[in-house]
Structure 1
Amino acid sequence: MNILVLPPFNEAQRAVIEAAATGASFTYASSAEATDEAIATADVIVGNLPPARLALARNLRLLQLNSAGHDAYAAPGIMPAGAALANAVGAYGQAVSEHVYTMVLMLMKHLDGYRDDQRAHSWTDRGPVTTMAGAQVLVLGTGDIGQHFAQLARAHGAHVRGVRQRLGAVPDGFESIHTMNELPELLPKADVIAAFLPSSPATRGLVYAEFLARCKPIAYFANGGRGDLVVQADLIEALEQGNIAGAALDVTTPEPLPADDPLWSAPNLLITPHVAGQFHLYTVLDNVVRIAAENLRRLQAGEPLVNEV
């Protein structure tokens, strides 16, 4: 079995993946460096090969993505016939939740403003701050990332409710689980709303003028899922009017966000360029290689794959 590995695994991580597929031949190359021949002869590709190059993968049995998102690969005609597609759900919970949680705390403590004051050499007191202790936190999306975020908030004494499509068991970190239909009643009670939702017809444009109008003026909104969740013009207006206290975005529409986009200048808004995940935190690649190794083992054993799309 020929396995093409694209993520920048270190030696220890390579040892993990190689141990899962005894006798296989491994080729390591970045996505840009992978040759047409390596793609054409690969039985398994680990990593996010550009979708257009998948047409070369005539022997492909499994594409194991290094991302949780898989939209670009699920479109008709992208995956070679007979090849399985699996994502890396479960690899990014710690990284994304810590990043977004930190952004919210920065807003609550005015650290973004104090950073601006430092650069302006201005000794300014920005007044009262808020806390996660005792806060009512609403998490949209209760998967791996949402659960990690909930656990962080609970550790600081927050009361955390989760929102997802269907009811079910209450995951760790949450006090209760609710459906999307309950959002109109939940939003006015929340001090923090954190969203970790995938892009879908049900979620696109979910955060718009009416959604924001139901929020407390002291509430903070954060989005670590997909940019198309938010109608950005409505968010700008809500921030300018003081309808919410602040917002933190690691995702926008489009990406990269154009330099002249008005979102950059919205008050009380923190933006990071979709970097909460990626490979910046070392645990991400550890998790990706663990998922990939398990699926290599399962593929050889003829067992059902994990995270199969």
Structure 2
Amino acid sequence: MEIMMEKTVLVVIPAEERHKEKLERAGKGCRFVYASPQTATEEMIEAADVIIGNVKPDRLHEPERLQWLQLNSAGADAYVKPGILRSTTMLTSATGAYGKAVAEHSFAMLLMLQKKLNLYRDAQTKNEWSDFGTVTSITDVTVLVVGLGDIGLHFARLASALGARVIGLKRSMGPCPEGVHELHTMDELDNLLPKVDVVASFVPSTATTYHMYTKERLMAMKDTAIFLNSGRGDAVASEVLYEALSEGWIASAGIDVTEPEPLPADSPLWQLPNLMMTPHISGQFHLPETFERIVDIAAANLEAYLKGENLRNRI
């Protein structure tokens, strides 16, 4: 049964006219208000039945009227904490929009670290003509993908397509996805870490993933292994990662997330030659296709919401 009362939809993603037209077609009969996370006023937030986009969690305070919040991020951990949303407010994420962008970014890091291009770039900035020795090939490695969501599956397919053997880890067993040669559950992590050449982590921030890559687990990995993290920074403590890289427990790491964020300027991680680090930018809207997918998800969910149907990516 359709909901006939006019709904106020606050849109805080950077929608262009064509995006606004798509949203308004899906939300026919709704009143649309456009702002940014910074310019949205308290009055706008309090008057909204629906918000599309990531208003900062500390600005929400359990708004009484808000029925549904559609995030433009895949991660929703900041919005499920007490005091942010009422228990009756629906929360949906943009899972499915970021797989291509984040997976390709992380995969580029892997190839760069295998060929030591980070070291050659550092040498170039110092006007040094250097040879950093042996490299490895993607065709010769076993890759462990921890977290087989949208991003993890994209990464697995990239690695598999170029000849790597891919082992996937997820919370529960099911059919083995395309691009994955072996499928295991998360409780087998300790058995698998010593056997693989690359660990690519795409886990969200939860109580079970917090600091999951302990000192003992990183020490158990091959000293030639590469560690990648484009999930959440708190999966590994910064001091543990620094020790692993500086002490040679693993060969190198490529990370797009840190703990904390932004990483303090005095963190010793900045100075590690065997670490490639980017400031949590692999997602966002740097790949234009990502934003188009976010709008598509929001529009489809808005249409479903007005019809009283189930929403995609409900948390």
Shorter-chain TM-score tier: over 0.9
| Cα 1:239/1:53, change in 2 over 3 Å | closer
Partner residue of 1:227? Answer: 233
Q: Give 1:198's aligned amino acid.
A: P
1:163 maps to which of 169, 176, 182 = 169
2:259 maps to which of 253, 256, 270 = 253
Q: Check if 1:135 corresponds to 2:141.
A: yes
Q: Give 1:164's aligned amino acid.
A: K
The range that moved more, 34-43 or 116-125, is 34-43
Q: TM-score, normalised by structure 1?
A: 0.96
Partner residue of 1:146? Answer: 152
Aligned-pair distance for 1:128? 1.6
Say if 1:54 and 1:80, in contact at 8 Å, map to a contact too.
no
SS of equivalent to 1:45 = strand
1:189 maps to which of 167, 191, 195 = 195
Say if 2:77 and 2:206, in contact at 8 Å, map to a contact too.
no
Q: In 1, Cα distance between the equivalents of 2:57 and 2:244?
A: 38
The range that moved more, 143-152 or 159-168, is 159-168
Deviation track 1:10-62 (CA, whole Å, cap 9, x = no partner) reads 23222222221112221111111112332222111000112232248432111
Q: In 2, Cα distance between the equivalents of 1:216 and 1:116?
A: 25
Aligned-pair distance for 1:102? 0.8
Partner residue of 2:284? Answer: 278
Structure 1: gaps (5+ residues): none
CA RMSD of aligned residues (A): 1.4
| Cα 1:80/1:200, change in 2 over 3 Å | closer
Say if 1:220 and 1:245, in contact at 8 Å, map to a contact too.
yes
Q: In 2, Cα distance between the equivalents of 1:244 and 1:77?
A: 41
Aligned-pair distance for 1:101? 0.9
Partner residue of 2:182? Answer: 176
Aligned-pair distance for 1:293? 0.8
Q: TM-score, normalised by structure 2?
A: 0.94
Say if 1:36 and 1:56, in contact at 8 Å, map to a contact too.
no
Deviation track 1:66-123 (CA, whole Å, cap 9, x = no partner) reads 1111122111221135321111111111111111111111111111111111111111
Q: Number of matched residues?
A: 309
The range that moved more, 190-199 or 2-11, is 2-11
Partner residue of 1:269? Answer: 275
Aligned-pair distance for 1:163? 0.7
Task: Give every structure 1 segment of 4 or more consecutive aligned residues whose post-TM-superposition deviation is greater than 3 Å.
Answer: 55-58
Aligned-pair distance for 1:134? 3.0
SS of equivalent to 1:138 = strand
